[in-house]
């Protein structure tokens, strides 16, 4: 998956392959179940967006660092830890098309796997003599944990707002994107203004990424997602398309449906149709586009370079075709 997504950037793909080998070495454990659970997730693929951000941001600094691939690997291991814990909380059966750790090994081993990955992230940064990096990672972990708890407490809330949704994803998703970009630039000795701009870019990119992911939860297939569609809504996590649909003129029917204690398969199909018909996906696509434009404005503050060009290309990968956004309008 990594090589496919970055197939047109051979240099970055090579460095990400090196990051992958570092990840595999560092998640290994003498405990067989722990090693298998961590290694299985590491081998499951993914676009490796966060380590790519670390590497590309580092290209904007004057001091090439031999530790940068280790920093990139540490960030991805941190992301893996959050995925393991997320899957336990969400009771998800699949992750990237594979059985999740808690489904395969039980919740106890899965909790320990997530904790183990957190420690491996910090140990890898310690090996880089990155005490300051460790502090930044700890702050990001704090924000992520607080946002996940906030999201959990807000489940099944049909009165949730766009502002509440944005607060959740800024913490649980955008924080790690921002951290990745800022760490890369800082490790390479970039000036403060560059670190700040690339950090804001990472945050906007993370917001766009999560909004797009939430749109795909309604528009993609199970096979494309590697998990069942509409899974967030079924678990009471009302994402942006649902929030917007609940604000639409015909929201009362959807609100009544989502308040039912037990929904049938037909009920969920109706709810999904209401989200689409209520303009939820269309409006979410518009907000996605605004965050993509915010990300591009931060890139304009940076010195032109191949790394900036690659990041601009990455923003384009998150954008929806304007015709697709138009077609998502309610009839």
The pLDDT value recorded for residue 325 is 53
pLDDT, average across residues 25-50: 91
What is the rounded distance in angstroms from the CA atom of residue 101 to the CA atom of residue 108?
10
Q: Is the dihedral of CA 244, 248, 251, 254 positive or negative?
A: negative
Task: Name the H helices within 27-106.
Answer: 32-42, 49-58, 68-90, 101-105
Whether 274 and 246 have beta carbons less than 8 Å apart is answered as: no
Q: Is 227's pLDDT higher than 60?
A: yes
> Which has the closest alpha carbon to 77: 169, 188, 222, 180?
180
Q: Is 235's pLDDT higher than 60?
A: yes
Domain residue ranges in the chain: 2-327
The pLDDT value recorded for residue 307 is 96
The pLDDT value recorded for residue 1 is 45
- pLDDT-derived band at 19 (thresholds 50, 70, 90) equals very high
Q: What is the dotted CATH code of the domain comprising 2-327? A: 1.10.600.10
The pLDDT value recorded for residue 3 is 52
Q: Is 51's pLDDT higher than 50?
A: yes
Distance set, CA 155 to CA 168, 170, 267, 285, 331 (Å): 12, 17, 18, 23, 29
**Which single residue is written with the structure tokens 């929904």?**
263
- pLDDT-derived band at 324 (thresholds 50, 70, 90) equals low
Strand-pair partners of 98: 95
């Amino acid at each position: 998956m990594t090589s496919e997504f970055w197939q047109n950037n051979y240099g970055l793909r090579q460095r990400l392959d090196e990051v992958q080998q570092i990840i595999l070495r560092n998640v290994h454990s003498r405990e067989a179940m722990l090693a298998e659970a961590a290694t299985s997730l590491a081998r499951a693929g993914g676009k490796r967006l966060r380590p790519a951000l670390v590497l590309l941001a580092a290209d904007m600094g004057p001091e090439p660092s031999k530790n940068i691939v280790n920093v990139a690997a540490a960030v991805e291991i941190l992301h893996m830890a959050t995925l393991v814990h997320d899957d336990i909380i969400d009771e998800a059966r699949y992750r990237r098309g594979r059985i999740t750790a808690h489904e395969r090994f039980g919740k106890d081993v899965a909790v320990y796997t997530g904790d183990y990955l957190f420690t491996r992230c910090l140990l890898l940064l310690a090996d880089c003599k990155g005490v300051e990096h460790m502090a930044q990672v700890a702050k990001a972990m704090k924000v992520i944990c607080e946002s996940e708890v906030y999201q959990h407490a807000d489940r099944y809330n049909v009165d949730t707002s766009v502002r509440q949704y944005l607060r959740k994803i800024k913490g649980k998703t955008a924080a790690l994107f921002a951290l990745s970009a800022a760490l890369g630039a800082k490790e390479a000795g970039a000036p403060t203004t560059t670190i700040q701009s690339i950090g804001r870019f990472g945050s906007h990119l993370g917001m766009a990424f999560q909004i797009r992911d939430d749109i795909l939860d309604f528009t993609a297939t199970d096979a494309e997602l590697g998990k069942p569609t509409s899974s967030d809504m079924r678990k009471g996590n009302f994402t942006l398309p649902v929030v917007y649909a609940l604000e639409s003129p015909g929201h009362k029917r959807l609100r009544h449906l989502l308040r039912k204690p037990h929904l049938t398969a037909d009920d969920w199909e109706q709810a999904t149709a209401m989200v689409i018909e209520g303009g939820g996906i269309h409006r979410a696509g518009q907000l996605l586009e605004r965050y993509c434009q915010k990300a591009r404005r931060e890139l304009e503050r940076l010195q032109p370079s191949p790394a900036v060009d690659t990041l601009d290309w990455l923003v384009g990968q998150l954008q929806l075709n304007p015709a697709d956004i138009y077609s998502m309008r309610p009839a």
